[in-house]
Amino acid sequence: MINDLWYKNAIIYCLEVGTFMDSDGDGIGDFKGLMRRLDYLQGLGVTAIWLMPFQPSPRRDDGYDVADYYGVDPRYGTLGDFVEFTRGCKQRGLRVLIDLVVNHTSIQHPWFQEARKDPDSKYRDWYIWSKKKPAHASEGVVFPGVQKSTWTYDEIARQWYFHRFYEFQPDLNTAHPEVKAEILKIMGFWIQLGVAGFRMDAVPFVIAEKGPHAPADLAENYELLRELRQFLSWREGESIILGEANVLPNTDMKYFGATGECMQMMFNFHVNQNLFYALATSDSRPLIKALKSTKPRPATAQWGQFLRNHDELDLGRLTDEQRQAVFAAFAPDENMRLYGRGIRRRLAPMLQGDRRRIELAYSLMMTLPGTPVIRYGDEIGMGDDLRLSERECARTPMQWSMDPQGGFTSGDRPASRVISGGSYGYEHVSVEEQRRDPNSLLNWIERIVRMRKEVPEIGWGDFTVLRTSSAAVLSLRYDWRNNAVVVVHNLEGIPREARFDPAPESGGGDQYLVNLLSDEHSRAEKSGMHCILLEPYGYRWYRLGSMNYVQNRTDA
Ligand code: NOJ
C-alpha cells in the first residue's frame, strides 16, 4: 500500500515560476531558472512541486486570470521548457502539480472576447449573462473592500456578466457540456505533458450553480468533481486533484466523495485557522475540535496541511473574538490585515522571527493528520513587504544569496522587488547563508522533512488526541499497521510539564517513548503515565516501543 497513493506521505512545495529563479537577467523568473534549482528542492527533501499559474495571462491576479489554457507565458519560457522541467522533476523523483483555474478566465481570453462581441458565438453561453442588473449583484464578493460587485456591465455585449472574483475574471458556465468537455481537455493536455495532478482553484465556486440568485440559494453540483476525477483516473491512475475549498466540515465528505471517488486531497482550511488561533493564544482546544470535525474522510483521501500560502491567512471561519485574538497577536497593524478577515504577512514576521515559534509551527504542521504543503521562502524564514498591495506583499522573489537582488536575477530590475534591508532583507536571509550553517532554519527544515517522510503513520494512520495536563500542550497519537507515534507540542512560551498516558487502553506497563529527534527517550511511570518537561514552545516526536526496541536501535 505504501507504494501506492503517493500523496499520502508526500511533502509538497509550492512556488511561482516568476519569482523563483531568473535565468536570463530580464528580472522575471523562468522555467530555465527553476530547472537550475531542482537539485536544491530535491535536497530539501520535498517530493512534489505545486506550480502556481504559469499560462499566458495579463496577470492582474498573479496568473489566476488565464488567457490561454494550453500554453506557457512567454515571460517564463516555452512549452518545450515546461516539458524539460517535468522531465527534470521525473528524473529526481519529484512530482509536479499545477494550478487548474477553471472557475473563470481572464477577460482577455479569446473565448470571452468572442462571447462579448458576437451574440451568436458558441462562446456566448460559456459565460453567465444577464440583461438586467441582478438584484444580488453586490453580494458574495470574495475580496471585500477591493471588489464592489459580482456582476459588471459589459459595454460591448450590452449585458451584465457574472464574476465571483475581480471584474476581469468572468466566470465560466461550468454547467455547460462544452465547457465541461473543455476542462477535461485541459486536464488531459497537461497530464500528457507529465504533471501528476492539479491544485484546483476555487472549487466551491466551480461546482456552484451560477446565476442571478442570492449566493446562498445556489446549489452545488458535486457530480462534476466525480466526472473530473473519473476522467483523470482513466488518463493517469496516479494523478490527483488537490482542491482549494474553504468549506465547513459537514460538506467535506461531499468533496472527497463518500467512497473517495471525488477529490483525493483538499487543503484543511478549517484546521489552518484554528492552528493559528492555537499559536496566538496557546489554547489547543479549538484546534482539537477542528481536528476532530475534519477527521471523517475516506481512507484514500488526504488533507493538505499548511501554514501560509500565497493568499491572505483567511480567518473568516473563526468567531469574531477568536479572529481578534489572532489579529492582536500576529497582525497588530491594520496594514497587516486584508479583506476584513485575514492576515497578509509571511510566517516568520508573524512569529516575530522567533526560531522557537517557527519550529513549533512547522513541527505542528508536519505532524497534523495529512500531507504538509510548504510555501517557497518559508523554509528560510523570508519576510514580507507591506508596501506592496493586497497579497503581493508575501509574493516577493526567492532570496538565494547575498548577491545583488538576492541572487534571484542577474539583472538590476526584478519585476517584483526583492526584499532588501532590515532583518528580512536578502543581506541577512538567504539560502546561501543558511546552507553553510548547520543550525540554520533551512537545515532544520531539511532534517524535519526527512524525519516526516520516515513517519508514515502520520500520513496514513488514525489519530487520537491524548489527554494532557494543560490546554497549552497538544498531544496526538497516530496508529498505523501496529506502529504508533506520539507527538507533543507546548504552545506556550513558558516551560510546561506534560503528563499523559500514550496508551490509556493498555493499563500501563513497560512502555517506552523513543524520541525520533534526539536521544532523550521517556520511560513510563508504573501507572503508564509519561512525564516530560517541555521547554517554551518545545515539541517532541516519539515512536512507541519497548526498552528492547530502544536497545536494538542503538545497537544498529
Ligand atoms: C484562489 C487563489 O488562491 C487566489 O490567489 C485567487 O485570487 C483566486 N482563487 C481567484 O482565482
In a shared domain, residues 152 and 179: no
Beta strands across the sheet bearing 512-515? 462-465, 473-480, 483-490, 539-545, 512-515, 522-523
Q: Which of these three, 434, 453, 472, is where a domain ends?
A: 453
Backbone angles phi, psi at 241, to 5 degrees: -115, 125
In a shared domain, residues 19 and 95: yes
Judge contact between 526 and 508, C-beta under 8 A.
yes
Judge contact between 282 and 275, C-beta under 8 A.
no
Which atom number of ligand 1 is nearest to the Cα of residue 309?
A: 3
Banded model confidence at residue 554, pLDDT cuts 50, 70, 90: very low
Domain assignment present for 377: yes
Domain assignment present for 144: yes
Banded model confidence at residue 2, pLDDT cuts 50, 70, 90: confident
In a shared domain, residues 83 and 97: yes
Around ligand 1, the residues with Cβ closer than 6 Å are 61, 64, 101, 165, 201-202, 244, 310-311
Which atom number of ligand 1 is nearest to the Cα of residue 101?
A: 11
289 C-alpha to ligand 1 centroid (Å): 28
In a shared domain, residues 133 and 65: no
Which atom number of ligand 1 is nearest to the Cα of residue 311?
A: 5
In a shared domain, residues 137 and 214: no
Domain assignment present for 500: yes
Q: Name every residue whose Cβ is closer than 8 Å to that of residue 418 and which is 6 or more positions away in sequence.
A: 396, 397, 399, 405, 406, 408, 426
Which atom number of ligand 1 is nearest to the Cα of residue 62?
A: 5
Domain assignment present for 548: yes
201 C-alpha to ligand 1 centroid (Å): 7
Banded model confidence at residue 257, pLDDT cuts 50, 70, 90: very high
Place of cell 449573462: 129
The pLDDT of residue 469 is 87
pLDDT digits (tens, 9 = 90+) for 40-88: 999 999 999 999 999 999 999 999 999 999 999 999 999 999 999 999 9
Of 100, 101, 269, the one to substitute when testing ligand 1's pocket (max ligand atoms within 8 A of C-beta) is 101
Angle (CA) 286-264-369 rounded to 5° is 35
Of 50, 165, 391, the one to substitute when testing ligand 1's pocket (max ligand atoms within 8 A of C-beta) is 165
- Judge whether residue 547 has pLDDT over 90: no
In a shared domain, residues 395 and 494: no
The residue annotated as part of the active site, out of 171, 244, 283, 314, is 244
Banded model confidence at residue 555, pLDDT cuts 50, 70, 90: very low
- Judge whether residue 330 has pLDDT over 50: yes
The pLDDT of residue 216 is 77
140 C-alpha to ligand 1 centroid (Å): 15
Judge contact between 411 and 6, C-beta under 8 A.
no
In a shared domain, residues 215 and 147: no
Q: What is the DSSP string of 284-335?
A: -HHHHHHHHHT----TT-EEEEES--SS-EE-TTS-HHHHHHHHHHH--SGG
> Which residue's CA lies nearest to atom 3 of ligand 1?
311
244 is catalytic: yes
> Minimum mean pLDDT among 185-194, 352-361, 522-531: which range?
522-531
Q: Name every residue whose Cβ is closer than 8 Å to that of residue 388 and which is 6 or more positions away in sequence.
A: 395, 396, 416, 417
Name the nearest CA neighbour of 242 among 269, 215, 214. 269
Average pLDDT over all residues of the chain? 95
Domain assignment present for 168: no
- Region 300-317: what's the mean pLDDT? 98
In a shared domain, residues 156 and 259: no
Q: What is the DSSP string of 375-389?
A: ETTGGGT----TTS-
What whole-number percentage of the chain has pLDDT above 70?
97
The pLDDT of residue 215 is 78
Domain assignment present for 335: yes
In a shared domain, residues 346 and 467: no
Name the nearest CA neighbour of 380 among 407, 404, 409, 417. 407
If you ran DSSP here, which 8-state letter would residue 144 be given?
A: B
- Judge whether residue 113 has pLDDT over 80: yes
Of 201, 266, 375, the one to substitute when testing ligand 1's pocket (max ligand atoms within 8 A of C-beta) is 201
Range of the domain at 133: 110-162
User: Distance between CA atoms of 242 and 403, rounded to whole angstroms?
Assistant: 36
In a shared domain, residues 310 and 449: yes
What's the structural domain count of the chain?
3
- Region 394-399: what's the mean pLDDT? 98
The pLDDT of residue 317 is 96
In a shared domain, residues 58 and 87: yes
Q: Which of these three, 453, 474, 504, is where a domain ends?
A: 453
> Which residue's CA lies nearest to atom 10 of ligand 1?
64
* Helices and strands per DSSP (H, E), number in the chain: 17, 22
16 C-alpha to ligand 1 centroid (Å): 13
Q: 3-state class of 146 per DSSP? A: coil
205 C-alpha to ligand 1 centroid (Å): 11
User: Distance between CA atoms of 254 and 284, rounded to whole angstroms?
Assistant: 28
pLDDT digits (tens, 9 = 90+) for 82-95: 999 999 999 999 99
386 C-alpha to ligand 1 centroid (Å): 19
201 is catalytic: yes
Domain assignment present for 167: no
Neighbour-count burial of 47, counting CB atoms closer than 10 A to its CB (0-12 exposed, 13-18 middle, 19+ buried)? buried
CATH number at residue 155: 3.90.400.10
> Which residue's CA lies nearest to atom 2 of ligand 1?
201
CATH number at residue 497: 2.60.40.1180
User: Distance between CA atoms of 514 and 530, rounded to whole angstroms?
Assistant: 12
The residue annotated as part of the active site, out of 201, 312, 385, 446, is 201
- Region 289-310: what's the mean pLDDT? 97
The pLDDT of residue 435 is 97
Backbone angles phi, psi at 458, to 5 degrees: -70, -45
Beta bridge partners of 159: 154
- Judge whether residue 548 has pLDDT over 90: no
Q: Which of these three, 162, 195, 229, is where a domain ends?
A: 162
In a shared domain, residues 375 and 291: yes
Q: 3-state class of 450 per DSSP? A: helix
Domain assignment present for 169: no
CATH number at residue 218: 3.20.20.80
